[in-house]
Amino acid sequence: MSEVDEAVTLNESRASYAADLDPEDLAFHRRYGPWDAWTPDQAKPVFDGIGLTWWIAGGWSIEAFTGTARKHEDIDVSMWRRDVPALVQALAGRYDVWAAGGSLTPLYDDKLEMPETADQVWIRRHALAPWRADCVVNRDRDGRWVSRRDSDLEAPLEEVTWERDGIRYLNPEITLSFKAKLHRPKDNQDLAAALPLLNDDARAYLADFLARHEPDHPWRSQV
Domains of the chain and CATH, by start: 40-171 (3.30.460)
On whether the CB atoms of residues 147 and 174 are closer than 8 A, the answer is yes
More confident residue, 40 or 13: 40
| Res 28: pLDDT | 72
| Res 102: pLDDT | 82
Q: For residues 39-75, b (16+ Cβ closer than 10 Å) or e, as one string?
A: ebeebbebbeeeeebbbbbbbbbbbbbbeeeeebebb
| Cα–Cα distance, 182 to 141 (Å, whole number) | 26
Residue 1 pLDDT > 70? no
Count of beta carbons in the 10 Å neighbourhood of residue 131: 22
Strand 76-80 with 131-138, pairing: parallel
Q: In sequence order, which residues have a C-beta less than 8 Å from that of residue 77 and are 6 or more positions away? A: 43, 47, 54, 55, 56, 57, 133, 134, 135, 136
Residue 209 pLDDT > 90? yes
Tell me if residue 128 falls in helix, strand or coil: coil
Please give the sequence-ordered ranges of beta strands (E in DSSP) within the chain, or none if there are none.
54-57, 76-80, 96-100, 104-107, 120-124, 131-138, 140-141, 144-146, 154-155, 161-164, 167-170
Confidence of residue 9 (pLDDT cuts 50, 70, 90): very low
| Cα–Cα distance, 64 to 70 (Å, whole number) | 11
pTM confidence score: 0.88
Residue 11 pLDDT > 60? no
| Res 31: pLDDT | 80
Find the distance separating the first CA and the last CA of the chain, reported in whole Å: 49
Reported as a single tens digit per residue, the pLDDT across 104-152 is: 999 998 889 899 999 999 999 999 999 999 999 999 999 999 999 999 9
